[in-house]
Amino acid sequence: MFVEITRLFIVLGATASGFAIGRSAFTQPDTGAIVGAVLGALIGYVVGGLVGRLLRKAVKSVEDEVRKAPPAQVLVGTVGAALAGFVVALLLVPVALLLPGNWGWPLVGMLVWLGVYGGYSIAGHKSEELLALAGMSTRPLVQASRYGAEGGALLDTSAIADGRLLGIATAGFLRPDLFVPRFVLDEVQAMADAHDLARRRRGRVGLETLDTLRRTAGTKVHILDDELPQFTEVDSKLVALAKRLDLPLITVDSGLQGVAELQGVSCMNLNRLADLMKPALIPGEVLRLALTRNGKEDGQAVGYTDDGSMVVVNHAADLIGEEVDVTISGTTQTSAGRMIFGTLASSASE
């Protein structure tokens, strides 16, 4: 339809032009007008088809670019293009009128086009900032509000799907306002619908946790509809959103924590919290422990406390499979958790 309508306008224009040219060029005006009109219509039909297809292709390309661009960029870019074109025309049209002949008009047209293009590009790239200055931010939570001073925290997928979050919240160790981005909620929903059984259970635990937190007194769950189209990965969106909202990030993903902290985002890692909350063992304290396997060094045996901390006991390899009294000699924190070193209580007392 677009090509046919374009062709119709070009045919009408070419017919009128051929009519005028034929009427003035031929000695017999009426015959020349008819011949010129027919030739103009035929030429217009052929040229109209070519021009219509080219214009449709150009419009399709523009449409694809507009579809990819955020609405704010299109709106602000269009306004910027109109203003820039108007200003350039306002300045140059009087100059073109003062110049002899008509050769100044093509120059004015080219400069107006450059102004329109430049105005759209510059205003489009700065659309968010310009809208924020005008008090019409497309992301009111990101641009207008910073929740860091109000005791909020941003949740990631791993923290929501972790079974310990609810217990920590009900114990009063979480901030009162918990923020869940829509793209994180979508990821949790995708986990709950996954074919893998373990992943599906994690997702459903996450959804149940959010629902329980929403109904827990003293805790508010806010769903953020803010989107960051310039980022494709969820982790990148989370870090950028945490920076803009000035919120700490709650996670159990140590990789995400490392990237976030490098960019100045504070993180609350549930695994780190669990390690720090384990009972402190003081050097010299005696612990009853079952030895389960050999250690890395000769003569070492390894056992585990009730909270899962690994205890390395020197000179106890012969006692693997037995319960012994171990005297704590020291502790150290590793990336895998807390490691405790000890000796047999009977050896320490000798």
**Tens digits of residue pLDDT in 165-175:** 888 777 777 77
The reported pLDDT for the residue numbered 26 is 67
Which residue from 340, 339, 338 is spatially nearest to 275, judged by alpha carbons?
Answer: 338
Percent share of the chain, pLDDT over 90: 0
Same domain for 342 and 216, yes or no, is no
Q: How confident is the model at residue 278 (pLDDT cuts 50, 70, 90)?
A: low
What is the β-pairing status of strands 152-155 and 323-334?
Answer: unpaired
3-state secondary structure of 305: coil
pLDDT tens, position by position, 175-187: 778 888 888 888 8
Asked, for residue 148, whether it belongs to a domain, the answer is yes
Same domain for 126 and 31, yes or no, is yes
Same domain for 152 and 89, yes or no, is no
- The string over 17-32, giving b where at least 16 C-beta atoms fall within 10 Å of a residue's C-beta and e elsewhere, is bbbebbbeeeeeeeeb
User: CB within 8 A of 194, min separation 6: which ones?
Assistant: 200, 203
pLDDT tens, position by position, 296-309: 888 888 888 877 77
Q: What is the DSSP letter of 171?
A: T
Let me know: does 338 contact 306? Beta carbons within 8 Å: no
Percent share of the chain, pLDDT over 70: 81
Number of domains in the chain: 3
Query: Mean pLDDT across the chain, nearest whole number?
Result: 78
Please tell me the distance from the alpha carbon of residue 72 to that of residue 26, in angstroms, as a whole number.
Answer: 57
- Domain hosting residue 93, numbered range: 2-131
Please tell me the distance from the alpha carbon of residue 278 to that of residue 271, in angstroms, as a whole number.
Answer: 11
Q: How confident is the model at residue 282 (pLDDT cuts 50, 70, 90)?
A: confident
**C-alpha dihedral (85, 89, 91, 96), degrees to nearest 10:** 150
Let me know: does 206 contact 186? Beta carbons within 8 Å: no
Q: How confident is the model at residue 128 (pLDDT cuts 50, 70, 90)?
A: low
Same domain for 109 and 31, yes or no, is yes
Let me know: does 211 contact 180? Beta carbons within 8 Å: no
pLDDT tens, position by position, 29-67: 677 777 778 888 888 788 877 877 887 787 777 667 666
The reported pLDDT for the residue numbered 237 is 86
**Among the listed ranges 2-11, 124-133, 228-237, which one has the minimum average pLDDT value?**
124-133
The reported pLDDT for the residue numbered 330 is 83
Amino acid identity of residue 237, one-letter, is: K
* Torsion sign, CA atoms 240, 188, 208, 202: negative
The yes-or-no verdict on residue 152 having pLDDT over 70 is yes
Amino acid identity of residue 66, one-letter, is: V
Q: Average the pLDDT over 128-139 and give the result.
A: 59
- Give Rg (Cα) of the chain: 37
The reported pLDDT for the residue numbered 99 is 67
Q: How confident is the model at residue 350 (pLDDT cuts 50, 70, 90)?
A: very low
Asked, for residue 281, whether it belongs to a domain, the answer is no
Let me know: does 293 contact 302? Beta carbons within 8 Å: yes
Higher-confidence residue of 282 and 145: namely 282
**Among the listed ranges 70-79, 179-188, 307-316, which one has the minimum average pLDDT value?**
70-79
Same domain for 184 and 238, yes or no, is yes
Asked, for residue 164, whether it belongs to a domain, the answer is yes
Same domain for 64 and 106, yes or no, is yes
The reported pLDDT for the residue numbered 242 is 86
Please calculate the CA angle 157-163-167 and round it to the nearest 5 degrees. 115
Same domain for 229 and 309, yes or no, is no
In terms of Cβ atoms closer than 10 Å to its own Cβ (0-12, 13-18, 19+), residue 210 is buried
Chain length of the chain:
350
The yes-or-no verdict on residue 269 having pLDDT over 50 is yes
Amino acid identity of residue 9, one-letter, is: F
What is the β-pairing status of strands 301-304 and 286-294?
Answer: antiparallel
